[in-house]
Structure 1
Amino acid sequence: MLQLNYIRENRDAVIERLAVKNFKEAGLIDEIIGLDEQRRKIQNESDALAAEANSSAKQIGDLMRQGKKEEAEAIKSKSSGYKEQVKQFTEKLAAVEQELNHKIVQLPNLPHQSVPVGISADDNEVVLTHGELPTLHGEALPHWELMAKYDIVDLELGVKVTGAGFPVYKGKGARLQRALLNFFLDQAAEVGYNEVQVPILVNEASAFATGQLPDKEGQMYHVGNDDLYLIPTAEVPVTNLYRDVIVKEDQLPLKHCAYTPCFRREAGSYGAHVRGLNRLHQFDKVETVQLVHPDKSYEAIEEMSLYVQGLLQKLELPYRVLRLCGGDMSFASALTYDMEVYSAAQERWLEVSSVSNFETYQSNRLKVRFKNADGKMQLAHTLNGSALALPRIVASILENNQTEKGIKIPAVLVPYTGFEYID
């Protein structure tokens, strides 16, 4: 959530930056500023009335102690309406604040100055490309056919048990999943991420705090009887560990990683581009989250990007890094890098990680603060990154590493799988 004082003091700049995200409701900015002025006016009037009421109460007490009962009663009669007036101000203030909050949460985060202008994924900026694109033998297959050939992932069995988009991993497929998760968690621990295990159901307050509500309400699975949401990413519960917390400045950066299954409805996703493991309703992911000092957050996002790239290099997967344009960024992000791996049999790039800096957008909702060197409370910056999401990593490993002997497991995973080939 954008900070109200920043909107008020930088109206034109806010409108200009939001235009990069193709946000065209500039009138909403003026509505928010108008409501804020109304709120402050009511608050000032209420404070003045409360001060007057307190002064009258003190006068009445003093006069009563002096035995001046008639004078005290006169002031008491005059001030008898204060209580009702204060109640009216309180009700008016609550109504204006509710409307103000309803309006301000409709504003996306301001994009960083480096974010390119654009409407869709076609306008994203390719920052770098790494690795040689593999050349496959003539009998090469896409990963969904490889899954069936080696009986390692069963999509139809998942349909039977639950529905489309809920695969069943079997045998060496299940072991490859477990190997990747353990590898990712071990790598995160080596660079200072503190592992946590968190709930995979969150309440409305948690979903709101990280920006999933109200923006992505239709993309989350909702457990209606208990009013809980299945998490779309571990970012939600991990970041919410610090909701309403004042951390110490010398604790920053706070770095956590977590493995969770993730759940996304992916409404409206159809076609060949979502075939096989390309897009699922349930998938496994290791997430990294950081809370950092505002002066360090753009240094931190570069470090997180390099960390994810290091994982892809160890897996021997060709990849590229994209800086997302304004039209392709998430509602809450100020800057996002996407990492895509090349899927040789499909001859296309597949997104496997997003690393984002939210600046104070999440922390303002979370109310996660620290006391700076001047003794003033300041909002921390929050960042998160997939490190990594498994389905498309698995798809790329299967397709890129297929040989006539079988599917070769990346050397770094062999100690985790216990086998060198899926055959």
Structure 2
Amino acid sequence: MQLKDTFERVKRASKSLALLTDEQRNEILNAVANAIINHKARILEANAQDLAKMSKANPLYDRLQLTDSRLEGIASDMRNVATLPSPLGHVTKQKTLPNGLRLCRVSVPFGVIGMIYEARPNVTFDVFSLCFKSGNACILKGGKDADCSNREEVALIHEILEQFGVSKDVVALLPATHEATGEMLNAVGYVDLCIPRGGRKLIDFVRDTARIPVIETGAGVVNTYFDAEGDLEMGCAIINNAKTRRVSVCNALDCLLIHESRLADLPALCQKMADKHVIIYADKQAYQALDGNYPFLEPATDDSFGTEFMDYKLAIKTVASLDEALDHIDQNGSGHSEAIVTMNEQTARKFQAHVDAACVYWNAPTSFTDGAQFGLGAEIGISTQKLGPRGPMALEEITTYKWLIEGEGQIRP
């Protein structure tokens, strides 16, 4: 492997993290957060180089862009992570066997976490803060679209680590090449866990290629069902926020399911989205309800449903019942986030019990699926699988455990 030396150095450096106290980790995290603000001109200049290579019309432009306010938010999230309790050293099970052996199960870091992500320069800081706080070293593999931003961010982190006498090898950024991705996915013995964060194509490639453990995250085909007993004013706010707050993120709304008895309310439900020029792909009944009442309207096709748009686009499907809405989600959802708008508690509870997703909302937008919003400080990704962590993953989700056994010379018969 061309990157074997890098992997070895990170693996070796990961052992040194165990020697740091939680107080030391917190001090370094706060120092990095301060550096983000004090040197934001450096970061924004590098980010401008990345942005210059992408069209502003590309919906990923917003996800790539860093601003003063976004850097303030990133620094604030990092300081918040520093205030959280350490996830390490927690005794999760303890017992004494009849033969006198004392067993204790305690939380520990994974060791080295590999992160593969696309045009998301904020992820570099988020992953570092969570990994460092939880005692994990990290190997980052960003996309070429954000390479200048990522390199400037990692350089800043390295400067702070060296000021505190910590090996900069606890954080490594790989080249933004497909070859580097392939090497990480085959780094058996060096990388303990890989987390891909991006679109379905990236996640499928990682899952199908990796020889190291992988947690699937990110891809979100998100639906919201507006029920026969949904509140119109509430529905307008929820649907607009879920769709237009940030269209390039995985918790953004892709398909609105509407009960056929509420089609007359569809123009009102969609009105605010017209201000953002959201293109609506409507089925026959929804199209008739919106025709002449919504300016950016197109007929839906089979491909309109089950698609993660990551753009100012939305599919609308009319259903005759809650069960039909649930069937649609079963067939087209991705296990990420789903929502229902209804004032009927029995309907809502059935929806939440039936829908197989990491996050299931009642009268709230899916835009809340986020580690910081969940009070986790930040997130390393949103798991859509069932084995291991599920939903927003933060400190606890990137630790494992080991058994500590104490005896007085007992031997097994």
When normalised by structure 2's length, the TM-score is 0.22
Task: Find the structure with the greater CA-based Rg.
Answer: 1
When normalised by structure 1's length, the TM-score is 0.21
